[in-house]
Structures are given as C-alpha cells and as structure tokens.
C-alpha cells in the first residue's frame, strides 16, 4: 500500500513538473498606425511607443515599396495589403485605394494563414477603414469593423478600436490581434506630416494613449504569465507636406518603421534592411507557422532571437 501511494505521489509530481515546463503560448499583437513618421513619433511624447522601441527592437528604415517595380502607390491600400500578406503589389494586386485588380484571395493575410494552418486558432482584426473588411480581411478572418472612419471620424474610430481590443483581450483568447489606428494619417493630411507639426505629433500621442490601454489589457490577462506575446508596431507609409501619394523617390514617405517587443525579440536597432512585407512573415515565424514555398512570400522574419 505504501509503495503504491509513493508511486502515485511521484507520478503526480512528474505530471506537475511536466505541466510547469510547458512552453508559453505564442501570440501576436499588431498595432497599425496609418501615416506615421518615425521621426515624428520619436519627437513626440509618445511614452508607450517609445518604451516598446527602447526595450525591444526597431527599424526606422522600413521600405514600403520594395526593390522591384510593382506600380503601387504609397498609400493606404497597397501599404497595408503588403504588410499583412507578406507580398508586394504585383502579387496581391492592390496598387491604389480602389482595389481594382486585387488578388487577395490568392495571397491572404497572415491572420488567415494562421487559421488555415491551425483551425483552432483565433485571429481578429479590429478596424475602422471600410476596405479592410471589404477586401483585405474578407477571406475567412474575423474582422471587427467598429465604424466607418470616413463618415464617423477616425478619432472616434481609434477610440472604438481601443475599447473593442480591450474587450477582446479581457474576454477572449486571440492568437493574433490586429488593431488599426487612422487618425494620425488624417491629421497629417490636414496639418502636415512633420515632427514640427504640433497637431500631427498630438495625434501620435493620442494613439499612444490608446496603445497604452491595449498593452495594459494584454498584461492583465489571467493567462499572461503563460503567454509569449510579440508586440509589433508598424505603418503603411510616411508623408511629406500634406500628402504621401507619390513617394517612390521621397524618403520621408517611402520609409516606414517597425517596432518589435517581447521575450522572443533580440533587442536593439535592426541593422539589416526591413520591408513592409516582413511584418507578416515575422509574425508567422513567431507563431511557429512553417512558411510554405508555394505561398511565394516576399518578406522574411526580422528582429527575433
């Protein structure tokens, strides 16, 4: 009897130890800030975003167009399509905001790549720009369209995105959460894309407060200690003056940025060249999704250990 009890205790002990050694569950939080210049972000008082960059990895020279000619404009549709699919416009077909000729069913977002690979996974996009739900995240992903920012205003859209993201993190179990913020771009069009434009940097600081709330909700999860979150922040383009449409030869427009933070990140400035298409591949790599050759992705993973 004593031998049996001892064996049972030892077995329970080994089971407990095995459970304790289970790897943390890998997850991705992607913050998308439309039309955000990195130099303006660093000039601003955006404390949460600056902390993510200083304690994580960052690239301040993330090319939003790539090396080959694709006919894509430096605007929202092509920029975000490239970031979330991992391919350039000559593949995904989005060259402007009309989305004519789009081929996103053949080159879906990394959210769908995850759920196709792992049907039990949860991938959610929270957005306020209508083409996201109409075209980009329209192939099986869960898309929360909080309101039409073109009609209801992107400042309100950003607030609704934040509230929805907080609720998802508190009540659900997402493996990927993409939160999109549009007011910075709108403000740049109205008052100038420049670090010395007070309203532009104020808009960045407003988004920073939203980001802080989302980060707080992420860290307050009851399962957070058992999770390995990769926090990513990126943009779709920069800006010069009050525009960004013809930015192929304008560094202030063509150069975006990427910030990575979390246990999986190799801290410090990323010295290698980075591109918008690296966003999707970095996220998938962190999540343990094997990149398949037939996906024909253009990006590669950056900044990870």
How much is the pTM? 0.93
Strand partners, 147: none
Per-residue pLDDT of 239-259, as tens digits, reads 999 999 999 999 999 999 999
Say whether pLDDT at 2 is over 60: no
Those residues with Cβ within 8 angstroms of residue 10's Cβ, 6 or more apart along the chain or in another chain: none
pLDDT value of residue 20: 53
Which H or E run contains 20? helix 2-20
CATH of domain 28-295: 3.40.720.10
Q: How much of the chain exceeds pLDDT 70, in percent?
A: 93
Per-residue pLDDT of 80-118, as tens digits, reads 999 999 999 999 999 999 999 999 999 999 999 999 999
Per-residue pLDDT of 5-57, as tens digits, reads 433 333 434 343 344 578 999 999 999 999 999 999 999 999 999 999 999 99
| Mean pLDDT, residues 148-167 taken together | 98
Domain ranges of the chain: 28-295
Average pLDDT, the chain: 94
Say whether pLDDT at 197 is over 90: yes
Per-residue pLDDT of 173-192, as tens digits, reads 999 999 999 999 999 999 99
pLDDT value of residue 18: 43
3-state secondary structure 92-142: HCCCCCCCCCCCCCCCCCHHHHHHHHCCCCCEEEEECCHHHHHHHCCCCCE
């Amino acid at each position: 009897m004593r031998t049996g009890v001892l064996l049972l205790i030892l077995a329970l002990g080994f089971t407990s130890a095995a459970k304790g050694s289970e790897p943390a569950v890998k997850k991705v939080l992607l913050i998308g800030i439309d039309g955000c210049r990195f130099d303006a972000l660093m000039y601003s008082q955006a404390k949460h975003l600056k902390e993510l960059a200083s304690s994580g990895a960052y690239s301040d020279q993330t090319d939003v167009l790539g090396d080959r000619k694709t006919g894509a404009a430096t605007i929202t549709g092509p920029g975000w399509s490239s970031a979330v699919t991992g391919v350039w416009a000559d593949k995904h077909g989005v060259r402007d905001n009309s989305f004519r000729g789009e081929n996103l069913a053949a080159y879906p977002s990394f959210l769908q790549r995850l759920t196709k690979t792992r049907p039990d996974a949860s991938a959610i996009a929270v957005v306020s720009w209508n083409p996201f739900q109409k075209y980009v995240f329209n192939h099986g992903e869960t898309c929360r369209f909080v309101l039409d920012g073109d009609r209801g205003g992107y400042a309100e859209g950003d607030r609704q995105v934040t509230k929805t993201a907080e609720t998802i993190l508190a009540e659900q179990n997402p493996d990927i959460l993409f939160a999109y913020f549009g007011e910075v771009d709108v403000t740049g069009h109205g008052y100038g894309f420049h670090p010395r434009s007070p309203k532009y940097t104020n808009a960045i600081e407003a988004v920073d407060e939203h980001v802080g709330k989302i980060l707080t909700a992420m860290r307050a999860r009851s399962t957070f200690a058992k999770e390995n979150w990769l926090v990513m922040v990126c943009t779709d383009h920069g800006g010069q003056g009050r525009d960004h449409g013809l930015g192929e030869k304008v560094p202030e427009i063509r150069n975006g940025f990427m910030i990575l933070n979390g246990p999986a990140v190799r801290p410090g400035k990323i010295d290698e060249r980075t591109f918008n298409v690296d966003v999707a591949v970095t996220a998938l790599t962190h999540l343990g999704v094997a990149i398949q050759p037939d996906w024909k992705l253009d990006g590669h993973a950056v900044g990870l250990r």
